[in-house]
């Protein structure tokens, strides 16, 4: 039952009776309904102030007249207070409708088919070849992964793209360093760390011997020209990097459908440059080819350098075109830090000027910076935190906490992985994505407050109650869920589907993260205030039903943001 719409229809019927000829549409009435800040003021409220001018009546008179004409079995009572019409839903009926609907839907509760037949491409993580996966990639990876899961839950066909940073002169320098000082066995054993050592050595020696830079550029030209030896080494570097990164992706439970990076679009840039020329958008500026965006309040976007080389922007434009031709997307999301705000504004304006109407589905999902224990990350100053190390450390810390608090717990290592990794992911997705994140252990692994371990522990607590209760064959007496604590949990469960859709509309997974905290808080209050395993079997059955659905909803909320909730903690 859609209580909001049912109340709106009641209000419309009352309007017709109280004020003949002054009809209002149910959809409009539903849009006017508010949720009072205090449950004592009702479950829904209709402010009558907007109706005052049309009806030429004072708001209190309108609300009094409407109240006198409302009849509905699903309403416990209706109150007219200072121009507000406050509706109190029958709590037993509300509890029954919400919980049974969620129980029937099971793990699909909150899902939908609005995305059926539609495709969303999500570009996220985008690691660099020959560099280790660090904490700075945490936000893009987990925001993108969460959006992928949420969109899929709503019926969309999703394509996850890891747009690898695998193009540029640095790769020629890497090959030069490898040919001079490296060997296959050492690189295979040391992985990305060994490649980084080679590159650091090359950079240091090039300061003393500038001819090395020319050698590096020559090797990159060999990659561009398709030289077999250069390509073999270059592709091997990518394989080694991805093997290193996939250990982290496996820990995080993140997967991709495509690893097409910058190099993939190298041979497709000529096509989009031609598109720009044909559209009359390219202008020459000091030998470079640009698109002038001054009238749109932006600097020009360079697509071809004076030496004839293409740029990141050219490859991004080629990527947009390729993705539409390949996937026929309805949406294409770029989960990239806010430092690239201007780049994407320029890029999307260029696609608009090209007349690519389908490109209006492109969106830059930006996010803030990550610092660690109060310090900004800096590769040059040696303040870099590798994500694999962070996750492993978090698991170790979680295992130590389990050893202290629950030494007899089965599968301690597996539970520690779920808690430790889940804590890091939760921390990354808790605040609005545009806010900067300062990762601190004290907050991330705290079992109290607004943290992943707190929500996971609540899920495990609900499971413990259900196991202790065993089978309960009695019919639920939903009137036992009329108390404020139970109703608070039920209202949140009822709000879960709308929360998911709001998260999609705003590209904001933190809405689901924060929802999980609010539901955990509400359930814990219910747990302490209400006797779940009551002697009254009807009340017991109803409270166990609430516990089961609260657990189910917490589990799915965490799952949608990429966290697996342990059954026992």
DSSP conformational letter for 383: B
> Residue 158: phi, psi to the nearest 5?
-110, 140
Q: What is the pLDDT of residue 448?
A: 84
**Among residues 443, 450, 410, which one has the least CA distance to residue 567?**
410
DSSP conformational letter for 449: S
Has residue 382 got a pLDDT over 60? no
Residue 215 sits in which domain range?
168-255
Q: What percent of the chain has pLDDT over 70?
A: 99
**Among residues 327, 352, 9, 348, which one has the least CA distance to residue 161?**
327
With vertex at residue 238, the alpha carbon angle to CA 245 and CA 190, rounded to the nearest 5 degrees, is 65
Q: What is the pLDDT of residue 429?
A: 96
For residues 422 and 562, give the distance between their C-alpha atoms in angstroms, rounded to a whole number: 8
Tens of pLDDT along 115-143?
999 999 999 999 999 888 888 899 999 99
Residue 105 lies in a domain: no
| Domain endpoint, select from 224, 255, 286 | 255
For residues 525 and 133, give the distance between their C-alpha atoms in angstroms, rounded to a whole number: 40
Q: What is the pLDDT of residue 443?
A: 82
Q: Per-residue confidence at 568, pLDDT binned at 50, 70, 90?
A: very high
Q: What is the pLDDT of residue 136?
A: 86
Residue 129 lies in a domain: no
Has residue 377 got a pLDDT over 70? no
Residue 308 lies in a domain: no
Residue 307 lies in a domain: no
Has residue 174 got a pLDDT over 90? yes
Has residue 380 got a pLDDT over 60? no
In the numeric block, which tokens belong to residue 343?
């780049």
Q: What is the pLDDT of residue 134?
A: 86
Residue 51 lies in a domain: yes
Tens of pLDDT along 270-320?
999 999 999 999 999 999 999 999 999 999 999 999 988 889 999 999 999
Specify the CATH number for the domain of residue 52.
3.30.1360.70
Mean pLDDT of the 482-495 span: 96
Mean pLDDT of the 409-430 span: 95
Residue 455 lies in a domain: no
Q: What is the pLDDT of residue 54?
A: 87
Burial class (CB in 10 A: 0-12, 13-18, 19+), 555: buried
Q: What is the pLDDT of residue 164?
A: 95
Q: What is the pLDDT of residue 325?
A: 97
| Domain endpoint, select from 47, 67, 89 | 89
Entry pTM: 0.91
Mean pLDDT of the 369-395 span: 77
Mean pLDDT estimate for the chain: 93
- From first CA to last CA, the distance across the chain in angstroms is 36
Mean pLDDT of the 325-331 span: 98
CB atoms under 10 Å from CB of 42, counted, come to 23
Beta carbons of 125 and 511 less than 8 angstroms apart: no
Active site residues: 131, 134, 137
The number of distinct structural domains making up the chain is 2
Q: What is the pLDDT of residue 446?
A: 83
Residue 531 lies in a domain: no
Has residue 213 got a pLDDT over 70? yes
Beta carbons of 126 and 262 less than 8 angstroms apart: no
Q: What is the pLDDT of residue 379?
A: 52
| Domain endpoint, select from 72, 89, 106 | 89
Q: What is the pLDDT of residue 378?
A: 58
Residue 196 lies in a domain: yes
Has residue 333 got a pLDDT over 80? yes
Sole residue written with tokens 């009329």 = 482
Tens of pLDDT along 42-54?
999 999 998 998 8
In the numeric block, which tokens belong to residue 133?
């996966």
Q: Per-residue confidence at 2, pLDDT binned at 50, 70, 90?
A: confident
Q: Report the SS3 class of residue 161.
A: strand
């Amino acid at each position: 039952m859609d209580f909001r719409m049912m109340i709106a229809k009641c209000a419309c019927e009352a309007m017709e009776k109280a004020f003949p000829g002054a009809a209002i549409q149910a959809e409009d009435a539903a849009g006017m309904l508010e949720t009072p800040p205090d449950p004592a003021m009702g479950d829904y409220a209709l402010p009558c102030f907007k109706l005052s001018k049309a009806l030429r009546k004072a708001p209190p008179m309108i609300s009094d007249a409407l109240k006198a004409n409302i009849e509905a079995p699903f309403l416990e009572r209706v109150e007219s207070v200072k121009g507000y019409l406050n509706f109190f839903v029958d709590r037993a009926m509300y509890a029954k409708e919400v919980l049974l609907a969620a129980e029937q839907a099971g793990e699909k509760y909150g899902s939908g088919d609005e995305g059926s037949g539609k495709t969303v491409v999500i570009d996220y993580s985008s690691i660099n070849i020959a560099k280790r996966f660090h904490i700075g990639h945490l936000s893009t990876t987990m925001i993108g992964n969460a959006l992928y899961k949420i969109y899929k839950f709503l019926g969309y066909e999703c394509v996850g793209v890891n747009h690898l940073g695998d193009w540029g002169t640095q790769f020629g320098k890497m090959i030069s360093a490898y040919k001079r000082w490296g060997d296959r066995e050492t690189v295979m054993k040391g992985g990305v760390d060994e490649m980084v050592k080679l590159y650091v050595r090359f950079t240091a020696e090039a300061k003393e011997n500038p001819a090395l830079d020319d050698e590096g550029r020559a090797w990159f030209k060999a990659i561009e020209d398709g030289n077999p030896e250069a390509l073999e080494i270059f592709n091997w570097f990518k394989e080694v990097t991805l093997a290193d990164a996939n250990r982290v992706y496996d820990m995080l439970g993140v997967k991709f459908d495509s690893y097409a990076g910058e190099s993939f679009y190298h041979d497709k840039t000529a096509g989009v440059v031609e598109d720009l020329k044909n559209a009359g958008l390219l202008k020459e500026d000091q030998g470079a080819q640009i698109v002038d965006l001054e009238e749109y309040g932006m600097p020009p976007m360079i697509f071809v350098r004076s030496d004839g080389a293409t740029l990141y922007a050219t490859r991004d434009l080629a990527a947009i075109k390729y993705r539409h031709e390949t996937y026929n997307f309805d949406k294409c999301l770029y989960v990239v830090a806010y430092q690239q705000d201007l780049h994407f504004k320029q890029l999307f304006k260029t696609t608009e000027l090209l007349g690519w109407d389908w490109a209006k589905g492109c969106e830059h999902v930006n996010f803030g910076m990550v610092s660690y224990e109060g310090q900004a990350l800096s590769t040059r100053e040696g303040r870099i935190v590798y994500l694999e190390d962070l996750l492993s450390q978090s698991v170790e810390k979680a295992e130590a906490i389990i050893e202290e608090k629950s030494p007899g717990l089965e599968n301690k290592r597996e539970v520690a992985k779920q808690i430790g990794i889940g804590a890091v992911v939760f921390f990354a997705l808790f605040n609005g994505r545009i806010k900067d994140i300062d990762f601190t252990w004290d907050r991330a692994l705290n079992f109290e407050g607004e943290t992943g371990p707190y929500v996971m522990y609540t899920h495990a607590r609900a499971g413990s109650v259900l196991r202790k209760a065993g089978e309960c064959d009695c019919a639920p007496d939903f009137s036992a869920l009329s108390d404020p604590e139970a109703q608070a949990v039920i209202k949140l469960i009822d709000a879960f589907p709308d929360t998911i859709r709001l998260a999609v509309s705003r590209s904001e997974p933190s809405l689901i993260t924060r929802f999980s905290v609010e539901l955990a808080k509400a359930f814990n209050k219910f747990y302490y205030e209400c006797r779940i395993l009551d002697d009254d079997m009807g009340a017991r059955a109803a409270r166990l039903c609430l516990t089961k659905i609260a657990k189910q909803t917490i589990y799915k909320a965490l799952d949608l943001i990429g966290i697996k909730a342990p059954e026992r903690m």
